Structure 1
Amino acid sequence: MLVIASIATALIALLHIYILVLEMALWDKPKGMKVFGLKKEFAQATKVMAANQGLYNGFLAAGLIWGLILTTFEQALAQGQAIQIFFLSCVVVAGVFGAITSSKKILFVQGIPGAIALVLVLLS
């Protein structure tokens, strides 16, 4: 179960690295505008705000990776899982908040996958 939980957590970390790239580097580029459904003028006007959001997604990914690294050391397994639980909980909260305030799509892209990984970590 630990391996499955670690894989799920790693996938969520990769998702947040992808979101970081979208928000920090591609926000006002064709790929970013397509993913987020943005018009050029809006994307340019909100580029700095999006970069800030991307940075936060990077922090989530970093925390999840930190937790994964710790779980590879037997003496730090519990600490690594605790860190994963905290950061996956943050992912779930961000997904729910984003769904309420921005787009329901965020719940399915971020919130539910985060919740699945969280349950797997809790069960491992």
Structure 2
Amino acid sequence: MTLAASIAIAVVALIHVWIMVLEIFLWTRPAGRRAFGLTPEFAAASRVLAANQGLYNGFLAAGLIWSLLPGSPAAIAPFFLGCVIVAGVFGAATASRKILWVQALPAAIALLLFWLA
């Protein structure tokens, strides 16, 4: 894997760690509500669902970090990047188009860099 692909994968992993933190720990706080455009009432009512989403984003980050470790299986990076792309496209279609740019596009770029290696 090239340095550019590794850096891109690390960036996607960090994005998902941040999303996890927002969804699990900051959902009802001003930073979380601002990031997702939530009212205090909606944030409070959906807190448990958001934490569940955050857990899944943490799993994506963990898989991407795993793909950067020496000796990781070659197919791990494209698998987790593909999962991120699918989640980003689905999120853009069902929740907010912003998800396409924040989640799917960086993963697609990282996947392209991985394939070019």
Residues in 2 aligned to 1:66 and 1:37: alpha-carbon distance in whole angstroms: 32
Counterpart of 1:96? 89
Paired residue type of 2:86: V
Letter in 2 for 1:110: Q
What per-residue deviation string (whole Å, max 9, x for no partner) do you get for residues 69-107 of structure 1?
0xx3xxx36x2x310000000000000000000000000
Q: 1:117 aligns with which of 102, 110, 117?
A: 110
- CA drift at 1:47: 0.1
Deviations 1:5-55 (A, max 9, x none): 000000000000000000000000000000000000000000000000000
Structure 1 outlier segments of 4+, above 6 Å: none
RMSD of aligned C-alpha atoms? 1.0
Letter in 2 for 1:97: F
* Counterpart residue identity of residue 101, structure 2: F
Q: 1:39 aligns to what?
A: 39
Provide the secondary structure at the position in 2 that maps to 1:115. Answer: helix
| Structure (1/2) with the larger helix percentage | 1
- Identify which of structures 1 and 2 has the higher relative contact order when contacts are C-alpha pairs closer than 8 Å and 6+ apart: 2
Give the structure-1-normalised TM-score: 0.91
- Counterpart of 2:5? 5
Q: How far apart, in 2, do the equivalents of 1:106 and 1:87 lie?
A: 17
Q: Which amino acid aligns with 1:48?
A: V
Pairwise CA distance, 1:2? 0.7
Partner secondary structure for residue 92 of structure 1: helix
How far is the alpha carbon of 1:123 from its aligned partner?
Answer: 1.1
Unaligned runs of 5+ in 1: none
- What count of residue pairs does the alignment treat as equivalent? 117
TM-score of the aligned structures, taking structure 2 as reference length:
0.97
Identity %: 61
CA distance in 1: counterparts of 2:104 and 2:40, whole angstroms: 27
Alignment-derived partner of residue 84 in structure 1: 77
